Amino acid sequence: MEKMYYEVHEGNGPYLLLIHGMLSSRAQWTRNLAALSKATRPVVLELWGHGRSPSPADPALYAPQAMAEQLDQVRRELGAKQWFVCGQSFGATATLRYSLLYPERVRGQVFTNSSSALATRDKVKDLYADVHKLAANLEKHGQEGLKRMRIHPIHAKRLPPGAQDELMADAHLLNPAGISNLFQITSPVASVAEVVQGTKVPTLLVAGEQEARFAPHRKYAEENIPGVKVVGVDGGHACNIEAPEAFNAAVLEFVRQHS
C-alpha cells in the first residue's frame, strides 16, 4: 500500500500534524518547528506528488476521503488517541475534512489562508475551470510546466530572506503526474464550504491579513464555522513563514488552551 511520507519531530506535548500547501513541502514549516515543539510533537506530512511522498497511479487514492484515511493511518501508527491538526492553504482542505470526518480524534484544528478549502460551489467552478489545460501543460512540459505556475516557489516575492531557498531546495522533488492528479481529481471536490457548519472541534484560523483575496473566505469562516477563533497576523498567503513569531504564538496558545 502506498503511503504519504511523514516525519516526527521531538517535542513536548500532544502530536501536531502539519500539512503544507500546493507545490510546497516539509520546508513550509522550517521556521515553526522549534517554537511549536515547546508544547507539541510536530508531525510533518507531505501530500501526494510532493516532497518524498509517492504519486500513486490509482485515482481513488486522490479522493478527499481516501486522503483523510491516509492521515488517520499516521495517527494510528503514532499510537495517538487524539492529536491536533494544522493545514496551510491546500493542506487545509485535508485537515478540515479530516476533522469533520473524525472529530473524536481531533483535540483542535488550525488552518491558514485557504481559498480551496472554503470556496463555495459557484466559486469552485471558477477556480478549476482550466484544470484540464493545466494537466495538459504538466504532461507536456513536466518540471518546466510546474515552474510556469504562479504558485511555484520560484515566483515567491513576499518571503523573508532564506525562505525561498528552503522551499526551492525541495521543488525538484515535485512530481508533475502527482500534482496533475491532485488538481484534476482532488481540487474540484476538496472544498468543505458546504459542510463546514458541522464542525465539532475547537478551531483556530490564523489569517494572513495582507492577502486581500482571502478576506471573503475569512468572513465565510467566521460566519459558518461554529466557535472559530480568528487571529490576524501581518503576513500574506504563507503567513506561517512571513509572520512566524505571531503564527507560532497563536498556535501555542491554542494548543495549551485545548490540551
In a domain, 105, yes or no: yes
Residue 1 inside a domain? The answer is no
The answer to the question of residue 45 being in a domain is: yes
Query: Domain of 89?
Result: 6-258
Gyration radius (Cα) of the chain, Å: 17
Cβ proximity of 234 and 210 under 8 Å: yes
Q: How many domains does the chain have?
A: 1
Residue 173: partners with Cβ closer than 8 Å, 6 or more residues away: 25, 50, 51, 52
Question: Is 249 a member of any domain?
Answer: yes
> How many angstroms separate the CA atoms of 217 and 201, rounded?
19
- Match 487571529 to its residue by C-alpha cell: 231
Identity at 83, one-letter amino acid code: W
116 found inside a domain:
yes
Residue 217 included in any domain: yes
Note the pLDDT of residue 189.
Answer: 94
Is 199 inside a domain boundary? yes
Tell me if 109 sits within 8 A of 84, measured CB to CB.
Answer: yes
- Is the whole model's pTM more than 0.95, yes or no? yes
Residue 163 is assigned to a structural domain of this protein: yes
Domain harbouring 226, CATH code: 3.40.50.1820
Q: What is the pLDDT of residue 168?
A: 98
Note down pLDDT in tens along the chain; length 259 residues.
899 999 999 999 999 999 999 999 999 999 999 999 999 999 999 999 999 999 999 999 999 999 999 999 999 999 999 999 999 999 999 999 999 999 999 999 999 999 999 998 877 777 677 788 888 899 899 999 999 999 999 999 999 999 999 999 999 999 999 999 999 999 999 999 999 999 999 999 999 999 999 999 999 999 999 999 999 999 999 999 999 999 999 999 999 999 9
